[in-house]
Amino acid sequence: MNRKFALLLVLVAALAGAATAWITIKRPDDPPALEQATMLDVARPLPQFELVDQAGRAFQRASLRGQWTLMFFGFTNCPDVCPTTLAELAEVRRKLKDLPAGDLPAVVFVSVDPNRDTSEALGRYVAHFDPQFLGVSGPPAAIEALTRDLGVAVFIGPPSEDGNYTVDHSAAIFLIDPSAAFTAVFSSPHLADVIARDYRSIVASTH
């Protein structure tokens, strides 16, 4: 892993740990019992953003309203973490298929590599895991604003002689509630059984 990115991950982890500690101290009510996820004390509204989905449609904060969403950041040329995580998320949806339609989570894959990940490429990629998955991307500045708000670390390496380059990114899964607010985060390693159980607990606690 790139040394600069490794240091960035350490910093992000430290900040996340501090935030988690604050949340634990400040939570006024007993939170649902969770195995791995961390639920925020108060859901935090996402900022306004302007991205584009795999069909070329505008994808904004308003696009997330009215449903629960599991959001993951990555890129289609990712050799391991992204395909593994998306496969787990597809399994999560299968494990939750007994839930009412309004509680079944959507899955949004946000590409942090817009130079290579066209809408067409994203569409083919996410459909391989689940036809219901949505792939989105957009201008680098718009992606950076969203990743910065959620604390997603991204490092794009310099191009090699053949024009290829590496993309390092953190692997958290973010839970967005039906009001388009960030409400919980699932840290890695990601296991479908654990994510599904924690998701059920979180959603049940909001009813």
Least-confidence region, from 49-53, 72-76, 164-168: 164-168
Per residue in 148-182, pLDDT tens? 999 999 999 998 888 889 899 989 999 999 999 99
Residues 27-36: what's their mean pLDDT? 74
What one-letter code names the amino acid at 126? Answer: V
Residues 59-87: what's their mean pLDDT? 96
Report whether CATH 3.40.30.10 matches the domain 3-206. Answer: yes
Alpha-carbon distance of 204 to 72, in angstroms, equals: 22
Alpha-carbon distance of 90 to 123, in angstroms, equals: 15
| Secondary structure (3-state) at 192 | helix
Residues 6+ apart with CB under 8 A from 59: 51, 52, 53, 134, 136, 138
Ordered alpha helix ranges (H), the chain: 3-26, 81-95, 119-127, 140-150, 192-206
Residues 138-150: what's their mean pLDDT? 93
Per residue in 100-137, pLDDT tens? 999 999 999 999 999 999 999 999 999 999 999 999 99
